[in-house]
Structure 1
Amino acid sequence: MATTRFSPFELLLLKSRNQTDTAALLLLTWVAASKGSLSETDRQRLADMSASMRHGHDCQAILDIGARQDLDAVQLAAEVLQKDRWGTQASPFLRQAIEIAVTEGKLAAATNHILRFLADLLGTSPPQFAQLYLEVIGKPFESPEDPSREAYWQAREHARQQQRSQSEQRQREQQSHHRQRHSQEGTGGSRQGSGRPHGDKTLRALAILGLDAGATRSEIKKAYRRLAQTHHPDRFFALGERDVASASMRFQKIQKAYEYLMQDARSL
């Protein structure tokens, strides 16, 4: 006798106390993951949203499926949600989707398209959705960039060249500042006992902490605390071993840069 095999999301739906809420949480996770990855901020926001839902099970399994952007699960969730959240019933869900779409402060092109898809799925017209977006975010809902247009790539290339020019300018300024600093040290300047020959290493350590040459001890401490908190491996535990390993390497670089700079940082 053949055994029917269900996908992980189908099993969640079968066990759910409210399939519509289960489908809604899956689609909200899909929105968050479309930005590139499921950040810790997004996970916490989704967990908060899940707490007010009636599905009756741990939300972690849904978040894991949504983070993988399983399109079969997304399609099934869309079908379930459409039955119960059509028309005037769509607004609360779409508000949540908008909130989770812009947690990083801007709307990615892929996420823009997904929001449009969800609005259309639930019978919300473009003008209605644009008004809803304006109410939630306080900014107009703009059209996504079109990669098929030449102007799109020209703008990207211009931005890339501008960023490269600014980076080169900053590097020249740092090198100039560094040469002046060592020149002062060589003639008995105010920085005693510094005499460190490895200027490139100092610049690399500053760059890791996102600081400019001449940063004070207080600035170095503040930058270290901020980056250490953001990149601590414990924050990436739920994302898997690869993310934890990557975060550990980044955290070690931050820590080494901090220790190196504190040996030679000038006082306030």
Structure 2
Amino acid sequence: MSIARFSPFELLLLKSRSQVDTATLLLLAWVLVHRQHVSEGQRRRRLAQVTAQFRHGHELGPVMSIAHSQDLQAIQLAAEVLRKECAKERNLSVIHQAIAVATDDGALSLANHYILRFLADLLSIPPVTLNTLFHELTGTPLGAPDDPSRDAYWQIHDPDYHARKARDAEAAKQQHQQAQAQAEQRQRQKDERQQYKQQKQQEKQQEKQQRQEQASQAREREQQRQRERAHQQDQQRQKQHQEKQQREQAKREQQRSQQDSYQRNSDQNSNQNSRQQEHRQKERGNQQRTSPPPDRTTRALSVLGLTPGASRIEVRHAYRRMAQLHHPDRFYSESEHQVALASARFQRIKNAYDYLMQTY
């Protein structure tokens, strides 16, 4: 079996020359470490003195270390070794030594009150026997241990207990008050931070609203400027349209004036030609007793404003002049009736010209 699985006390038992002596040594050391107002050196010297006749064959240091560690399993193992290996008389001797070690200075510590009873129970020694041994050795009976949970114990063992308790209570009260004040201060700081945060949020909200209002006003101003520009552009377009209409009206009036002038000239030429023709006819009438009826050539020449006997060149020039004066495109701004009349005149002029150009 591996050594690592054994406890320090079990290893000490394995190395011991007498396991009974080693077990007794641990129990006595356990009582010594609970002695009050005793130094470690004094404990070791007292343990060496009590166990001078033991045959364990090892140092006391490891046993004292185990006793200081409060290893109850090791204590129980030591009691089992004594109960199995020793008779009742040896167990009584161990309890006798434990009582002697625990009461060397005449006072039994509270811890040893319980340790002696615990050891007696482990070694199967009745309480009556323990009380008898204790009375025989110390001259006083083994009374019940004091209860540390009661104030009477501390009044005897610690007269300053109530004053210290009052100081502790006052200190606890002050700490509570300080903690409460700190909590209130933290709460105030928290409230102030929350209020500051809310104020900042309100300011941000107001700034946001102001920016939105400014942006809305800017949009409205821009829309107003756009409407004004659109209105100005509409007025400018209307003005341009009116000017264009005026120019077109002036142009139509000018064209109408030119047409009237051309018409008057044409009428004058026609009248002059008519007079000339009448004059020629009178002359021919004088020469001839009877005049022949007018033929188609004469009518065509009359349409072009010419007299019989006109040359081909004169016919062409007359056609061009009459076509410019009576072309329908010159009457596009007039009524439909005027345009129809112009078309009819132009058609008669065109027919007369075609006929004369075929005849000549």
8 Å CA contact 2:155–2:161 kept in 1: the answer is no
Q: How does 1:64-83 map onto structure 2 within 5 Å?
A: 64-83=65-84
For 1:29, the equivalent position in structure 2 comes to 29
SS in 2 for 1:62: helix
Counterparts of residues 85-234 of structure 1 (less than 5 Å): 85=86, 87-147=88-148, 152-157=150-155, 160-161=158-159
Question: Once the two structures are superposed, what CA deviation does each residue of 1:14-54 show, in whole Å capped at 9, x if it has no partner?
Answer: 01111111011011111111235764322211011222111
Q: Which has the higher contact order (CA 8 A, sep 6+)?
A: 1
Secondary structure of residue in 2 paired with 1:51:
coil
Cα offset, 1:119, TM superposition: 1.1
TM-score, scaled to structure 2 = 0.41
- Matched to 1:82, the amino acid is R
TM-score normalized with structure 1 length: 0.53
Q: How far apart in 2 are the matches of 1:158 and 1:16?
A: 44
For 2:155 and 2:71, locate their aligned partners in 1 and report how far apart those are by CA, in whole Å.
33
1:147 Cα deviation from its structure 2 partner: 3.8
Shift of 1:155: 4.6
Any idea what SS the aligned residue of 2:5 has?
Answer: coil
Aligned to 1:237: none
**Alpha-carbon distance in 2 for matches of 1:77, 1:155:** 33
Amino-acid identity (%): 44
Q: What secondary structure, in the 3-state scheme, does the structure 1 residue paired with 2:51 have?
A: helix
Structure 2 distance, partners of 1:138, 1:39, is 28
Report the equivalent of 1:170: none
After TM superposition, give the deviation of residue 131 of structure 1 in Å.
1.0
Does the Cα contact within 8 Å between 1:38 and 1:67 map onto a contact in 2? no
Return the index of the structure with the highest Cα Rg: 2
Query: In structure 1, the residue corresponding to 2:56 is in which secondary structure?
Result: coil
Equivalent pairs counted in the alignment come to 162
Q: Which residue of 1 is the match for residue 50 of structure 2? A: 49
Which structure has greater helix proportion? 2
Per-residue deviation, residues 188-220 of structure 1 (Å, max 9, x unmatched): xxxxxxxxxxxxxxxxxxxxxxxxxxxxxxxxx
Output one character per residue of 1:50-103: Cα deviation in whole Å (capped at 9) or x when no partner. 221111222222122212222232222122122134533312111110011123
Contact 1:24 1:81 in 2 (8 A): yes
* Matched-pair contact (CA < 8 Å) for 2:76–2:122: no
Moved more, 110-119 or 72-81: 72-81
> Structure 2 counterpart of 1:111, which letter?
N
Unaligned runs of 5+ residues in structure 2 are: 164-360
Distance 1:40 1:135 in 2: 29
Pair 1:164–1:45, CA change in 2 (3 A): same
- On the 8 A contact 1:42/1:100 being kept in 2, the answer is no
- RMSD over equivalenced CA pairs, Å: 2.7
Check 1:65–1:2 CA distance in 2 against 1; reply closer, same or farther (3 A cut): closer
Name which of structure 1's ranges 108-117 and 139-148 shifts more when overlaid on structure 2.
139-148
Match of 2:7 in 1: 7
